[in-house]
Amino acid sequence: MLWGGGGDQKVTVFFFLSGASSVKPLDGVKILDLTRVLAGPFATMNLGDLGAEVIKVERPGAGDDTRAWGPPFAGTESLYFLSVNRNKKSIAINMKDSKGAKLIRELAAVSDVFVENYVPGKLAEIGLGYEDIQKIAPHIVYCSITGYGQTGPMVQRGGYDSIAAAVSGLMHITGHEDGEPVRAGVAMTDLATGLYTYGAIMAGLLQRYKTGKGLHIDCNLLSSQVACLTHVAANYLNCKIEGKRWGTAHGSIVPYQAFKTKDGYIVVGAGNDQQFVTVCKILNLPEVSKDSRYKTNTLRVKNRKELIDILSTRFSEKATSEWLQLFEGSGVPYGPINNMQQVFSDPQVLHNGLVMEMNHPTAGRIAVPGPGVRYSDFAMSHPKPPPLVGQHTVEILKGTLGYEDDAIEELLRTGAVAQHEVR
């Protein structure tokens, strides 16, 4: 990595080292992370997995809101927090203190990326808005994550996943066909926003490489989820077809859903006519595949109820394991509905290395789901455990900002910062 650019601008320039398998894409990139809860921490954790140095700014004492979200806890640590905060350092700063806000500006000046998820205008009130940071760090990629965006009629509302999932229409299309709206089992709107943020920050760094200038990125829960409505939105926008709940089924593909077996469930998806013929062969229903009512997917959608009744009756006659054996090697997508114990004993999950283990300073040995992507030239191994609140405060003040011991002692004494002593 090299620093370049005109004037006082600092621009990170990357070059390639052949055969350097230990080099990660974001080695040398410093991220100042003021986010809390899920969307922001999920994004910065993924950036940390790629080698970025992530400095997580937290309130002295309480820290990130999710530190209190439990049970369950590992010792005194919230497993919710532990699941999305690996590969980060924590500095505890009281941003309401003028000395604390000054530290944030100093850290921004030596960082590449600034990420925050405050209600629009809140950080500007203490001199930490985009315009404020841009003046001292014109190279900065400043990313804001909010509920609804930086402008507009809902801009001052706080944003949580379930509310954004409701407003965006996701809850309207999630749940049993004749049942109540349902929240997804994990916070998919937050997670989608985190992935959008992760990609947007990478794009911002590439844009800065091209232009030599930083920029502001506006990510928000509402926009992320509406963008993810895909075909359901297109159906409405082009044909005025209102979205509806389908349970495990699909509005435009039949069969494509869960079927109850003798002892559980199996999910089967026939995405084309040949796969449907194969499903009928496996179920020993050759007459169904020849029935003119089910010859094409369009006809199967039209005659959904009659077909699903026939298939459901047959699936109920055998155990899930028997059906899994019959579908193996057929070319038809299928699978059981697994609980967590089954997920993490699944041979493909184990083969894909989707569990990361690490030693936490107070919780001991912990395991969390790792990144869902693998790269040929480097490994995302040896993760650092999620930090304690303010675990790295002194280290960052000394190593990153060059503060002397007496200045640090004064900041600690006045409560502008806090250091967690690991015993």
Point out which residues pair with 3 in neighbouring strands.
Answer: 12
Q: What does the DSSP assignment read for 110-136? A: T-SEEEE-PPTTTTGGGT-SHHHHHHH
| Helical residues (DSSP H) of 177-291, grouped into ranges | 188-211, 221-227, 230-239, 273-282, 286-290
Count of CA atoms in the C-beta half-sphere (13 A) of 21 = 5
C-alpha 178/C-alpha 175 separation (Å) is: 8
**Closest to 209 in 3D by CA, of 14, 7, 9:** 14
**Do strands 2-4 and 11-13 pair parallel, antiparallel, or not at all (unpaired)?**
antiparallel
196 with 203: CB under 8 angstroms?
no
Question: What are the CA-CA distances from residue 405 to residues 55, 397, 402, 421 (Å)?
Answer: 20, 9, 10, 16
Q: What does the DSSP assignment read for 271-289? A: -SHHHHHHHHHHTT-HHHH
C-alpha 139/C-alpha 34 separation (Å) is: 18
C-alpha 337/C-alpha 315 separation (Å) is: 14
Instruction: Check 33, 49, 64, 190 and give the catalytic one.
Output: 190
Q: How many CB atoms are located within 10 Å of the residue 239 CB?
A: 8
Residues 6+ apart with CB under 8 A from 196: 219, 224, 227
**Residue 263 annotated in active site:** no
**Closest to 118 in 3D by CA, of 177, 217, 36, 60:** 36
Amino acid, single-letter form, for residue 247? G
C-alpha 358/C-alpha 384 separation (Å) is: 7
**Can you state the angle between helices 98-109 and 405-414, rounded to 10 degrees?**
140
Catalytic residues: 190
